[in-house]
Structure 1
């Protein structure tokens, strides 16, 4: 189990990079950041998956709601029609799950590579 001091730096780096990437980057860069941060800072494979899955899920959920509100909810209405008239709330959840799983698996791979290479 990592102490608070050991968690502080990876959390600050993650928050900074993900917020920066939300406005000026590509969506898949979150996975690259999760991979690199897990490789250097987080030892447990399961812990790294859960940390990044939950963090990016919540981050993408709120980011998709915020960006959709800026576009007057056009994007969620289009996606819900495209996916078979599902609820716009479900499109937000699917967006969060997509980002969460992608970043979680990238973090898992980063932590696994660390265990293999050392």
Structure 2
């Protein structure tokens, strides 16, 4: 789930709950998530379910982004030798049609970069 999809799902399924129990809070630093979890008894079951799905999806995406360079180190060395900078290496791997490491390809997909 992309970040945009996550925000859309939360707005759709939790919008009225956010207005009711988290009115006036800023989005940053997990304030809305913390508020919804703290007030779970007052929040709709649809919102609770969506919040759980969104949280899990974002955690998986962040883990994939964190682990990407370790998982793809061999492919980066093989196809993007000597290239510096994580962004440049990622761009190289995305352009390379030769990357056949299933784990590397999956990490790129799970990280939301493809």
Asked whether the two chains share a fold, i.e. TM above 0.5, the reply is no
Per the shorter chain, which TM-score range?
0.3 to 0.5
Structure with greater proportional helix content:
1
Q: TM-score, normalised by structure 2?
A: 0.34
- Specify the structure having the higher radius of gyration (Cα): 2
Taking CA–CA contacts closer than 8 Å with sequence separation of 6 or more, which of the two structures ends up with the larger relative contact order?
Answer: 1
Q: TM-score, normalised by structure 1?
A: 0.34
